[in-house]
Structure 1
Amino acid sequence: MSIKIPEYVAGHGLLKGKSVLITAAAGAGIGFSAAQRAIEEGCRGIVISDIHEGRLAASVEKLKAETGCEQVFGKVGNVAVEDDVQALINTAEELLGGVDVLINNAGLGTTKSLIEMEDPEWNKVIDVTLNGTMRMTRYMMKIMKERGDGVIVNNASVLGWRAQKEQSHYAAAKAGVMALTRCAALEAADFGVRINAVAPSLAVHAMLKKSAPAELLAELEAKEAYGRGAEVWEVANIMMFLASDYSSYMTGEIVSCSSQRA
């Protein structure tokens, strides 16, 4: 049985007056939806980043056109490169007059059995998904520490908790993101910064529908508690809650989006 998709939820000003930086936000996935939601929740300005220059420029224009917000900026950057990370955050700080909320959405996954996997494939997934999140968090924490304020939201995955064939590299990276979130949150609490993570299960978007075999997608959806994958905006909603003052006493937490059927 599939529980129907709810109506799109209107914004309630959760991020009113806040500035936001989101990685891997060009396209049709969670990152772009989080950017759209942040604007709908009243953020005063936003910087989105991606490694694809053309797609990033198109996403900036789309956000401006669909939301009416003019304070939307794009900055090309690769979270696997430390110089890019620092340039991205420094640019966002300058454009926005300080970053109040960082959403680490960048991640990379492939499908491969462990015995067939070569080091370069393993290392690339770890470097983007885990090390990239660490690089962004580390540099942002240094800046937020000086202000004594700020929020970081990481995109983890339920695969950080549960097993799935041919996902050992991705699951290991996301489990690392969870551990990073918990440990960094304790350090950041000393200077008033909160760090939490969302752990989506299956989030369905256009790129996934194009790349995943229909039979596999149907099988995965059938395992979900609601009998369907999450809409990307449903995941983005949880990010908005974690980024907002409604979660002011939460830090070091990993919020799951869904549970699987037995």
Structure 2
Amino acid sequence: MPRRGQAVVIGGSRGLGAAIAYALGAAGWPTTVAARDTEQLERCRKEAAERGVELSTAQVDTLAPADVRRLFTDLAQRGQLDVCVMAAGRNLSQRLLRPPREAGGAWSAHGIEEWHATVDLNLTGTFLAGREAALTMAQAGTGGVLVPVVSCTWQGSWGQSAYAAAKAGVVSLTRSWALELGEFGIRVVAVAPGVVDGAALREKGARHPAHARYMERLREQVPLRRFAAEHEVAETVLHAVTNQYLTGTVIEVAGGGFPARIP
């Protein structure tokens, strides 16, 4: 296999991000996983080693511009950067309004703090990582690919105003950056899973039986009647990385369609 440049996965220390990092490493890219939790980063590195994949790790606050800039400066010093996957994010289920019958006798509205935290992590964090990755690739003159991990909720999703709006913003960044960065040989391809059947989903279901029941109802509305496996999303990221004529688009991994609201 020809020697490849590096890959970095932002927010790749657990769950889907880790699965993507393992897949990139196994496919031949020297891969760095960047996240804030050092203990989780070490667990990720050890699990990768058990799979026969060597990963590097970097402790980074994805919302601190200086931290993100330092990460990409370090990567540039090690060699060519080919791939940047932006997988840091967190879901939030909170309705815009809850009527008095559901909110203890008074109207309740979506919190502004929750809005800012969700939009900052999912949208601003992607902007910061994408900006520094694009600059690193453009300055080196070697091209590359940016892969934001979005979500099918970007088309609208009941009870997820902040999360859906943030992911829609990432889709817009994908298309805008593809237009701007093509002249530098940089592609931008978003991958949008529906619900991913991973450890986080199962753990939350074990803690909250009502949530587990809701997810089962949601699963029944997916045409394939199941959620995505982490490796299926990781395989789609590899396709986005290796297909040299993909840019400015969103590849959905949704089993035939993600319902905006279950009946």
TM range, smaller chain: 0.7 to 0.9
- Give me the whole-angstrom Cα distance separating, in 2, the residues matched to 1:68 and 1:136: 24
Of 83, 106, 109, the residue aligned with 2:88 is 106
**Mapping of residues 30-179 of structure 1, within 5 Å:** 30-43=16-29, 45-69=30-54, 72-95=55-78, 97-115=79-97, 116-148=109-141, 149-161=143-155, 163-179=156-172
1:261 to 1:237, Cα distance in 2 relative to 1, 3 A: closer
1:16 to 1:202, Cα distance in 2 relative to 1, 3 A: farther
**Mapping of residues 171-210 of structure 1, within 5 Å:** 171-210=164-203
Q: Contact 2:194/2:258 (CA < 8 Å) preserved in 1?
A: no
SS of alignment partner, residue 191 of structure 2 = strand
1:260 aligns with 2:251: no
CA displacement 1:180-230 (0-9 Å, x = unmatched): 000011111011111110111111101111114220121121111210000
CA displacement 1:40-61 (0-9 Å, x = unmatched): 2122x11001111101111112
Give the superposition deviation at 1:98: 2.5
- In structure 2, the residue matched to 1:4 is none
1:211 to 1:250, Cα distance in 2 relative to 1, 3 A: same
1:164 to 1:139, Cα distance in 2 relative to 1, 3 A: same
> TM-score of the superposition, structure 1-length normalised?
0.87
Structure 1 unaligned residues grouped into runs of 5+: 1-12
Give the superposition deviation at 1:89: 1.7
- Give me the whole-angstrom Cα distance separating, in 2, the residues matched to 1:119 and 1:90: 34
Q: Which amino acid aligns with 1:30?
A: L
Q: Contact 1:100/1:151 (CA < 8 Å) preserved in 2?
A: yes
- Give me the whole-angstrom Cα distance separating, in 1, the residues matched to 2:27 and 2:92: 33
Q: Contact 1:49/1:77 (CA < 8 Å) preserved in 2?
A: yes
Give the superposition deviation at 1:146: 1.7
Percent sequence identity over aligned pairs: 26
Give the superposition deviation at 1:19: 1.5
1:186 to 1:227, Cα distance in 2 relative to 1, 3 A: same
SS of alignment partner, residue 202 of structure 2 = helix
SS of alignment partner, residue 176 of structure 1 = helix
- Give me the whole-angstrom Cα distance separating, in 2, the residues matched to 1:137 and 1:24: 13
Of 215, 218, 223, the residue aligned with 2:216 is 218
Q: Which of structure 1's runs of 4+ aligned residues deviate more than 3 A?
A: none
- Give me the whole-angstrom Cα distance separating, in 2, the residues matched to 1:227 and 1:121: 31
Q: Contact 2:76/2:136 (CA < 8 Å) preserved in 1?
A: no
CA displacement 1:71-109 (0-9 Å, x = unmatched): x211111211111111222223334x1321000111122
Query: Over the residues paired in the alignment, what is the CA RMSD in angstroms?
Result: 1.7
1:241 to 1:16, Cα distance in 2 relative to 1, 3 A: farther
Q: Which amino acid aligns with 2:235?
A: N
SS of alignment partner, residue 100 of structure 1 = strand
1:183 to 1:219, Cα distance in 2 relative to 1, 3 A: same
Q: Which amino acid aligns with 1:188?
A: L
- In structure 1, the residue matched to 2:10 is 23
Give the superposition deviation at 1:136: 0.7
